[in-house]
Amino acid sequence: MNVRNHTISLLVKNKPDVLARISGILSAKGFNIENISANVTMNPDITKITMVAKGDTATIVKIEKEMKKLIDVIDVIRVKEKNAIQREMALVRVKINRKTRDDVTKSLDSLQCRILDESSDRLLLEITGETGEIDQALTSLEALGMEDMSRSGVVVL
């Protein structure tokens, strides 16, 4: 059994209870979702939901079938890493002092990162990247004095 993360993208009708239907089925059938994000597409009647599920291929196929069965789900797409851009975002507050500030910014050098706010003892950062990059950034920031963070689900195109 090869258990790993899979990204599934759903196009659904933009209706109030679609998310409830999806999460209801996922919990009723005992599937585990790592993260989820949703927003309207260019067509305001259609919402795109992207979720990352952990499991072997058989489990992921079951999730896809259950999703396809929902009346309000228009399409289900398994995202192949090679052919799609996947991004996550994290907002991070880090405690700094004069000595550590540069260590923090340096550790993020190779990433898409913006400083949203800065004071003498705090940095507020916005980091975007692939899931693995965010994981890495958060690990190093934790060692450097991360106070709090908030992380989005994955979006894909």
Partner 1 sequence: MELNGAQILVRTLMEEGVDTIFGYPGGSVLDIYDQLFQSPIRHILARHEQGVTHAADGYARASGKTGVCIVTSGPGATNTITGITTAFMDSIPMVILTGQVPTQFIGTDAFQEADIIGITRPCTKHNFLVRRVDELARTIREAFYIASSGRPGPVLVDLPKDVMQARMEYQDVPAKRQARKEPVFLPDTADLEQTVAMLKEAKNPVILVGGGVLRGRASAELREFVRKVKMPVASTLMGLGSFPADDPLWLGMVGMHGMYYANMAVSNCDLLVTLGVRFSDRVTGKLSTFAPRAKIIQVDVDATSINKNVLVHLPIVSDCKSALVQLNTMLGNNGLEDLRESRKQWLDQIETWRVEGALTYTRGELIKPQMVIETLNRLTRGDAIIATEVGQNQMWTAQFYRFNEPNTFLTSGGLGTMGYGFPAAIGAQVAFPDRLVVDIAGDGSIQMNIQELATAVKHNLPVKIVILNNGYLGMVRQWQELFYEKRYSHTNISGQVPDFVKLAEAYGALGLRTADPDEVESVLKKGIEASGPVIMDFLVEPEEKVYPMVNPGAALTEMQLGRETGL
Least distance between partner 1 and beta carbon 20 (Å): 7
Question: Which CB atom, from 65 or from 114, has the smaller least distance to partner 1?
Answer: 65
Q: Are residues 9 and 38 in contact, defined by beta-carbon separation less than 8 angstroms?
A: no
Query: CB of residue 34 vs partner 1: minimum separation in angstroms?
Result: 22
CB of 11 to partner 1, least distance (A): 12
Q: Based on CB atoms, which residue is closest to partner 1, 18 or 127?
A: 18
Helix (H) or strand (E) holding 23: helix 18-28
User: Where do contacts with partner 1 occur on this chain (CB under 8 A)?
Assistant: 17, 20-21, 24-25, 28, 58, 61-62, 65-66, 68-69, 71-72, 74
The nearest distance, CB 41 to partner 1, in angstroms, is: 18
Query: Smallest distance, Å, CB 42 to partner 1?
Result: 21
Which residue, 71 or 143, has its beta carbon nearer to partner 1?
71
21 or 151: whose CB is closer to partner 1?
21
Most distant pair of Cα atoms in the chain: their distance: 57
Q: Per-residue DSSP letters for 64-89?
A: HHHHHHSTTEEEEEEEPGGG--EEEE
Closest CB to partner 1 among 67 and 156?
A: 67
